[in-house]
Structure 1
Amino acid sequence: MRALLIVVLVVSALWAGYWVVGSQAMERGVTGWFAAQDRGPLTAEQQGITVAGFPNRFDLTVTEPRLSNAETGFGWQAPFAQVFMMTWKPWHIIATLPTEQTISLPLQDLAITSANFQASAVLVPGTDLTLDRSAVAVDTLALRSSAGWDMAAATLRLGLRRAVDRANAQELALEMTTVSSSAGLSSTEDLPEQIDLIRIDSLLGLSAPLDRHMGQTAPTLQDITLREGLIRWGDMVLSASGSVTPATDGTAEGRIDLRVENWRKLVPVLVATGLIGPQQSQTVTRALEILAQQGDDPNVLPLPLTFQNGWMSLGPLPLGPAPRFY
């Protein structure tokens, strides 16, 4: 009995020592990372770093983190950020963000509010700390832009994981429910004010893996394969699939094949979002009718979204310059 007690005390002491050493290393590492950012375009500030959770967790709390990049104009700040790791599997990270955050973009600021905002990441055990998979779950999400628009969603689920059959590729999945926005969604009487469902299943080709060397390797997007895109908005259903790659100048090249059920309700949306002018709506409707009549169902419109020579078009409709990968 005495020997067992000694063993328990020794193991407990070793475990406590492991936690103390690990928590101190975590605190020093995070503190050092914030301090090191002053030497580059990224600046990072915080008002306090603590580690708790003894004996089975490392619970890291950063008070008032603030990040900003002078080159890109991107920034982020929040009252706090928390990261949790179990002591026996530190490669599995869980993060909790506050109900209010702010993202700064070059031309606007986004105020983000939510009832719940959690994320997780699982790394491949090893020295490279390669990302294996990650997930984000947000409930009652609301975005409000300083540019005057807003958006809300009942739920947002985002997942990213390594593709098993292609090096440096990531599978990205997104699902949002009950989406609303001031950007023209309620401008048509034929559709409800909220989009029921937005779903994306895609494959992203990257130039380098997502690991601790990203600062040096700077992974860039090489191509996008859209396996499934789906929008359910009342009785209008839009589905999509296709692929896009960057041209030599970085502009998108490729084609996304769209299929729109009850497509006539799409034209008022194009007008409300500014993609076409009100005076063009009748001409566009007639052109789309001709395309729809070529199929089996006149209420279903097959429509290609093409990116070519620096421009993008929706069927016969020119939409403007194509987006850039880089």
Structure 2
Amino acid sequence: MWRLIRFVLLAALAVSGWWAFATFGAVRGIDQWLAQRQVDGWQAETSAIGFQGFPSHVHLFLKKLTLADPSTGVALDASVLELRAPVWAPGDIRIVLPGDPILLATPEGRARLLVQKGRVDVSLKPKAAMALEKMKTSSDAWLLDSLAGDFLAGGKSQMVLHQDEEIPEKYTLDLRVDALRPGEIPRAALFIPQHWPVSFDSFNARLSVTFDRVWDISALEVSRPQPRQIIINQAEAVWGALQLRFAATLDIDPEGVATGTVKVQARNWRAMLALAENAGVLPRALRPQFEQALSALAGLGGNSEALDLTLALNDGLISVGFLPLGPAPRFILR
């Protein structure tokens, strides 16, 4: 009997000791990381780090967290960020987002993100660099807005990112957003008619991206890995009468310039031309030329309202056959 009692006491002491070691080690690690970022010129601070989770989890609360990187102009301000990981698997981290607004800033402006039941599940390799193996984000309804109005909103959303086993720099991404709703800012910029549906009927994508290096702790501390190849297996957006499907293979150079093709299937393409013209993407003087050419292409498929075409990206430009569309976007992560 006494042997059993001693065994239970020793086991309890061992579990308690391991939990204390893991928890206070995590707190110390976060404090040191924030201090190092301050040395690097960041604004990096939290008012307090709370903890619980005994005996099975390291469960931390970073209160009044502020992070701002002066080299990129990106900043984040949250009332609390919750981190949770099993003591036996410290690389499997769940990040729970606060229910009140998260303030965001980029060189393009300031915004606020409001998320219901937002969380991020991350699996990191148990080494010093903490390379990303898998990430899953999920939420109920969410809203991204600013003082000038709403940008985007959505219902239940999920993104899953997997690291390729054979090519560590390659990640596969699956994205789905229910009831994606462009806010008043993009609707006004695109001159979307008032009768147009409020939200997308569907919005989903599956793609893979190969970066110049693995995503690890240096992505936060130094710089973001940059894309070198993007393969879109399938992407679909249905918004009222507009139906778009994409597939693409793009190679990207160190300057962010893409070379490759994007295959587009579009229904009700004339409405899309009108949106592109209203947004300033398509010059008004070129609208008749584009409409005539696209009408001829659509006629080849037997349906004048449906298009199946290939966009070519080369030397920083987008073209359809012999028709130039304009400059291509550059793929650079700041």
* TM-score normalised over the length of structure 1: 0.91
Rate the CA distance shift 1:213–1:154 in 2: closer, same or farther, 3 A.
closer
2 CA distance for matches of 1:280 and 1:116?
46
2 CA distance for matches of 1:106 and 1:123?
29
Rate the CA distance shift 1:316–1:96 in 2: closer, same or farther, 3 A.
farther
% of aligned pairs identical?
23
Rate the CA distance shift 1:318–1:45 in 2: closer, same or farther, 3 A.
farther
Size of the aligned set, in residue pairs, is 326
1 CA distance for matches of 2:26 and 2:251?
40
Q: Alignment partner of 2:180: what SS?
A: strand
Match of 2:275 in 1: 269
Contact 2:228 2:254 in 1 (8 A): no
Contact 1:303 1:315 in 2 (8 A): no
Say yes or no: does 1:178 pair with 2:179.
yes
| Displacement of 1:127 | 4.8
Match of 1:45 in 2: 45
Deviations 1:181-222 (A, max 9, x none): 221278236742211111111111112222345556963211
Contact 1:108 1:146 in 2 (8 A): no
Does 311-320 or 6-15 show the bigger shift?
A: 311-320
Q: Alignment partner of 1:244: what SS?
A: strand
Say yes or no: does 1:244 pair with 2:245.
no
| Displacement of 1:148 | 4.6
Say yes or no: does 1:202 pair with 2:207.
yes
Q: How does 1:1-326 map to 2 (within 5 A)?
A: 1-99=1-99, 100-146=101-147, 148-181=149-182, 182=184, 183-184=186-187, 187-188=192-193, 191-212=196-217, 214=219, 215=221, 219-247=225-253, 249-276=255-282, 281-313=287-319, 318-326=324-332
* TM-score normalised over the length of structure 2: 0.89
Tell me the C-alpha RMSD between the 2 structures.
2.4
- Structure 2: runs of 5 or more not aligned: none
Contact 1:108 1:147 in 2 (8 A): no
1 CA distance for matches of 2:286 and 2:145?
31
Rate the CA distance shift 1:234–1:207 in 2: closer, same or farther, 3 A.
same
2 CA distance for matches of 1:10 and 1:261?
70
What is the one-letter code of the residue matched to 1:135?
K
- Structure 1: runs of 5 or more not aligned: none
2 CA distance for matches of 1:276 and 1:216?
38
Does 7-16 or 171-180 show the bigger shift?
A: 171-180
Contact 2:191 2:279 in 1 (8 A): no
Does 81-90 or 214-223 show the bigger shift?
A: 214-223
2 CA distance for matches of 1:58 and 1:89?
10
What is the one-letter code of the residue matched to 2:15?
W
Rate the CA distance shift 1:315–1:150 in 2: closer, same or farther, 3 A.
farther
